[in-house]
Structure 1
Amino acid sequence: MYVIIAGGGEIGLHLAREFIEAGHEVLVIEADAKLRERLEEELGDVTLDGEGCRIQCLDQAGVSRADVFIAATDADENNLAACQLARLKYQVPRVLAKLNNPRNRNIFHKLGIDSTVDIAALVLESLKSMIPLFPFVRVLSLEDADVEIVQIRVTDASPLVGQKLEATGLSALGDAATLVRLGSAPQVISSSTELLAGDRIVCVVPRDQAEKLRLEVEGPTPSIA
């Protein structure tokens, strides 16, 4: 598989390393000489001097034969332009973009770039998952499938403690969720499962149902007077 990454910063470096270790052909497009030098010191001759939003550079990179194109610069406008070119001009089958500002998500989607990775949201949800005070965490958003992987934590103060799943607002999860309980192996949850403090439920839900599920777990967000 031929993977082109526009942007040789920390994320670009990490992605390039992972793809190369998996045996794939990788090219990183980067205009900064110091970043290119760093990449080449660690990964070898895998860089191209240029910007991923310029046609001449993309032609030189051989984007027309790429299987995957990833725009991972720190500028959303460059990532958007690069992805648009890769998708529309070169018909790259798989195009992904790093999203630096969550407010730009709708712009990407309106222009057909549905596979975005929201860095700020990932960091926030990762921090929340480490803090027991947050009972509902969005673990991963699968843009193409329009679903989210979420984690529900049953805290000591949760009204879910001692209840069977079928008696809660989580009953719709059915057999599509996994229960992680301290001291036990992960198991498929059932409607008759009694929830205990410390339980974690990991499930895949449609995107339009995720907020409803959060409200069942956390309740409405308090308004600020």
Structure 2
Amino acid sequence: MYIVIAGGGKIGYYLCKTLMPYKHRVVVIERQMELCQKISTQLNIPVINGDGTKLDDLSSAEVQRADIFIAVTGKDEDNLISCQLAKRSFGVRRTIARVNNPKNITVFERLGVDIAVSSTSIIADLIEQEVDYSGMKTLMKMKNGRIVLSEIIVKPDSPVCEKSLRDIGLPVDCVIVSIIRDEEVIIPNGYTVLRMGDLVIAVSSQHDQEELKNYFLK
């Protein structure tokens, strides 16, 4: 693939270094001449000394040929503008932006960025996945955190213990994917009764995860 990266700082540098073994053709746009020389010399890839928010510099990097455009500068506004120009002016189908402030993720997505990545949010999610709320644990988050895969242990004092799924009345945006009982994996239906010690795998919206916890945990 042909990949253009706006930003040659630490993230841009190591991103290039990671992509190179996969035989992608990578071009970098960087404002600081010193960083341009470092990347060009050490990684032996084309580097444009320019600004990813300028049409002329994007054109010099042949962004119109790019399969993916990635903006990883230290400024959220520059990353947003770069991605918008790549998509709207050069027709790039896939854009990825670094977001320093996690609150900007939703804004970026609404304004056309395909993937907005926040290292702060990633670290927070990793910590969240390691926390077991007395029987409920987040296994994975998808769709930028909007969909959550949860693992829940049915305890003796759980409100759902010895009840069938149809009698529990789960939240609308929640699906019980499977139940692990001893060594058996059960694909549940409405008549499936939850037993003490069952390990329940559920998919829910982020909003309904808290409500799901209230259903299962006392």
Q: Do they fold alike, i.e. is TM over 0.5?
A: yes
| Mapped pair 1:79 → 2:75 | no
Deviation per residue, 1:62-89 (Å, 9 max, x gap): 1011111011122100001101110111
The CA deviation at 1:97 is 1.2
Preserved CA contact (<8 Å) 1:125 1:138: no
Per mean C-alpha deviation after superposition, the further-off stretch among 16-25 and 189-198 is 189-198
Q: Tell me the distance in 1 between the aligned counterparts of 2:43 and 2:162.
A: 53
Q: Tell me the distance in 1 between the aligned counterparts of 2:22 and 2:100.
A: 27
The match for 1:190 is 188
Q: Cα gap change, 1:197/1:111 in structure 2, threshold over 3 Å: closer, same or farther? A: same
Which ranges of structure 2 fall in alignment gaps of 5 or more residues? none
Deviation per residue, 1:154-179 (Å, 9 max, x gap): 258683785567254279515xx366
Largest Rg, 1 or 2: 2
Give the aligned CA root-mean-square deviation in angstroms.
Answer: 3.6
Q: Cα gap change, 1:53/1:130 in structure 2, threshold over 3 Å: closer, same or farther? A: same
The CA deviation at 1:213 is 3.1
Matching residue's letter, 2:148: V
Matching residue's letter, 1:217: K
Q: Tell me the distance in 1 between the aligned counterparts of 2:88 and 2:7.
A: 20
Q: Cα gap change, 1:151/1:19 in structure 2, threshold over 3 Å: closer, same or farther? A: same
Matching residue's letter, 1:210: Q
The match for 1:62 is 62
The match for 1:142 is 143
Matching residue's letter, 1:127: I
Q: Tell me the distance in 2 between the aligned counterparts of 1:66 and 1:51.
A: 17
The match for 1:222 is none
Identity of counterpart residues, as a percentage?
27
| Mapped pair 1:49 → 2:45 | no
The match for 2:211 is 215
Q: Tell me the distance in 2 between the aligned counterparts of 1:180 and 1:28.
A: 49
What is the SS of the residue equivalent to 1:139? strand
The CA deviation at 1:105 is 3.2
What is the SS of the residue equivalent to 2:95? strand
The match for 1:19 is 19
Aligned residues: 208
Q: Cα gap change, 1:43/1:199 in structure 2, threshold over 3 Å: closer, same or farther? A: farther
The match for 1:121 is 121
Q: Tell me the distance in 2 between the aligned counterparts of 1:140 and 1:131.
A: 14
Q: Cα gap change, 1:77/1:197 in structure 2, threshold over 3 Å: closer, same or farther? A: farther
Matching residue's letter, 2:76: D
The CA deviation at 1:193 is 7.3
Deviation per residue, 1:7-41 (Å, 9 max, x gap): 23343234323332222111122223454455446
Q: Tell me the distance in 2 between the aligned counterparts of 1:20 and 1:112.
A: 27
